[in-house]
Amino acid sequence: MRKATFLLIALLLATTAADLTAQNVAMVVGAGSGSVRVTGGATIPEILNLRQTAQPTATWQGDTFTEYTLKYQVAGNVRWDLVANTVPAGVTVLDTQGDWIREGATTATGTPTNGTEITIRVRIADGATPTWAQDLRFDARRAF
């Protein structure tokens, strides 16, 4: 019985990937009985997926700019922020505070989800580069 108990303990310690120390393992062996307590943990990586779901749509024409809406879908297993990380010259993005700014604009925030549709508003100044839609980049980042 004693050999079987030690064999069981050795097997449990060999198969776990957790860092086990004397503080994490408690063992009691008596005549004819035994128990093992193993405390372990797992680290789950953060996953964030961002994809554009529709082409830019012109929604309003101003005196010196045209306003467009862009649609994206965000899915992730953590809280997230959608941030404009590359904004071409002549383009401004509406952030969550209601300000039209360039790079670094946080355009949306969310909680873990399988897919949330986000609408982003951008203003394109007259004379901006014609490839602004391809050059404009957003990034889903973990929110702290």
Strand (E) positions, 40-97? 48-61, 65-76, 80-86, 91-94
How far CA 13 is from CA of 3, 5, 40, in Å, comes to: 15, 12, 11
Write the pLDDT tens digit of every residue in 68-118: 999 999 999 999 999 999 999 999 999 999 999 988 899 999 999 999 999
| Residue 31 clears pLDDT 80, i.e. is over it | no
Half-sphere exposure of 25 (CA within 13 A, CB side): 13
Contact yes or no for 82/109 (Cβ under 8 A): yes
Token readout for 30 is 């008596």
Confidence band of 17 (pLDDT split at 50, 70, 90): very low
What does the longest C-alpha to C-alpha distance in the chain come to? 90
Close Cβ partners of 76 (under 8 Å, ≥ 6 residues apart) = 46, 47, 48, 49, 110, 112, 113, 140
